[in-house]
């Protein structure tokens, strides 16, 4: 303990507060006078293996999109082909859109006007099971909707499109989110 005298079988802590000009001796009082530190994510350079994996995922998804079923591309098949089960496809698209909207909402909360007293991490992690269930449900619905066209190739097709989407999304940033520092503070 810091700066105590023995009383009653133990040390009793004494606080020596000399105001905010203590020079860091009393950490509790000095912490209130300092500006909050900025946390920056340190980005490490990507290895050539990671870059090659990303190129392979994106390239294979482009092959699936361009060649489709061998007769027409994937967008034409999704739009016109009668072999697709439409109801599971639309429900799967709805589940994916709910996931995207949730992730956009959480990222706006995280990077927007964030107060230090708010615990946005708790609310975001509390709904992770629901988001996971929506993701698995959309994967199963897409596989069920596209099964009449590609049969067993539907599973790698949907997974490859998902992986390419996960690689491309971080590069599709709509704007630079900067955390605003509190310059003036009143306690």
Q: Per residue in 97-134, pLDDT tens?
A: 998 888 888 777 766 645 555 555 666 677 889 999 99
Beta pairing partners, 5? 12
Beta pairing partners, 4? 13
Note the pLDDT tens digit of each residue in 165-178. Answer: 888 887 776 554 54
Beta pairing partners, 20? 18
Q: Which distant-in-sequence residues (6+ apart) come within 8 Å of 124 by Cβ?
A: 106, 109, 110
Phi and psi at 86, nearest 5°, equal -70, -40
User: Helix axis angle, 154-168 relative to 48-67, nearest 10°?
Assistant: 130
Between vectors from CA 70 to CA 93 and to CA 167, what angle results, nearest 5°?
45
- Which residue stretches of the chain are H helix? 27-33, 48-67, 74-80, 86-111, 120-126, 128-150, 154-168
pLDDT value at residue 156: 94
Residue ranges in the chain modelled with pLDDT below 70: 1-42, 110-124, 173-187
Q: Decide: residue 165, CB within 10 A, 0-12 exposed, 13-18 middle, 19+ buried.
A: middle
């Amino acid at each position: 303990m810091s700066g105590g005298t023995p009383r009653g079988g133990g040390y009793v802590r004494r606080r020596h507060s000399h105001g905010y000009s203590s020079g860091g001796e009393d950490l509790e009082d000095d912490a209130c006078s300092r500006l909050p530190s900025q946390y920056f994510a340190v980005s490490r350079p990507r290895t050539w293996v990671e870059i090659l994996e990303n190129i392979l995922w994106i390239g294979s998804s482009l092959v699936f999109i361009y060649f489709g079923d061998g007769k027409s591309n994937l967008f034409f098949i999704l739009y016109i082909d009668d072999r697709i089960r439409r109801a599971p496809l639309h429900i799967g698209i709805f589940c994916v859109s709910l996931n995207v909207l949730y992730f956009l909402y959480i990222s706006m909360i995280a990077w927007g006007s964030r107060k230090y007293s708010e615990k946005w991490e708790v609310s975001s992690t509390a709904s992770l099971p629901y988001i996971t269930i929506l993701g698995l449900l959309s994967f199963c619905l897409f596989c069920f909707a596209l099964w009449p066209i590609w049969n067993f190739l539907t599973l790698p097709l949907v997974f490859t499109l998902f992986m390419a989407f996960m690689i491309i999304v971080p590069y599709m940033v709509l704007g630079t989110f900067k955390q605003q520092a509190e310059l003036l503070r009143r306690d």
